[in-house]
Amino acid sequence: MKEYINFLKDLDRRLQDYFEEHSEFIYCKKGCSLCCEKGDYPISEIELKYLFRGLVELDKTLKIKVKENIANIKKGEKCPFLIDSLCSIYSYRPIICRVHGLSYICKNNIVKVPFCANNNLNYSKVYQKGEFFTEPIFENLNTESLLKDFDFGEIRNLYDWIKTNN
């Protein structure tokens, strides 16, 4: 786990640079939780373990709210760690959450654009009708690609992890 934590520190530094480089296209701000409200949250086993470390660290009130959300989670609904439009485990969040908002190159040179580009948010100035009009980040920021040097375990949807472990 120590190697993973060090990896995240390095990744966060790189991502900070990417967010700064692309700041003119990024509209994310504190309290914007559209990406957390509804969706698919694929995470690896190592990320799940780290995420639950964050749960243990929460104060009692937040922990109770998160546990209630987990008990009532339904596939495709908001992330159970989202409380009052804020991530309760922000420092422990998975890679998909860390990279969300950025546009980058995936497998087969496909450009990954955040879904919020269709909601007049991130990259909406340079993404229209499936076409991207600026240079994306030339690093594959998918979880599987970033964790290739780790024994990261299986990657599954957060909902599936939670329902399997409850």
83-137, pLDDT tens digit by residue?
999 999 999 999 999 999 999 998 888 899 988 888 888 998 898 888 888 999 9
Q: Of 44, 51, 40, 52, whose CA–CA distance to 77 is shortest?
A: 40
Count of structural domains, the chain? 1
pLDDT of residue 166: 59
User: Could you tell me where the beta strands, DSSP code E, fall in 25-154?
Assistant: 42-44, 82-83, 86-87, 104-105, 111-112, 127-128, 131-132
User: Could you tell me where the beta strands, DSSP code E, fall in the chain?
Assistant: 42-44, 82-83, 86-87, 104-105, 111-112, 127-128, 131-132, 155-157
Q: Give the domain range for residue 58.
A: 2-165
Whole-structure pTM value: 0.91
Amino acid at 147: L
DSSP state of 58: S
pLDDT at 40 over 90: no
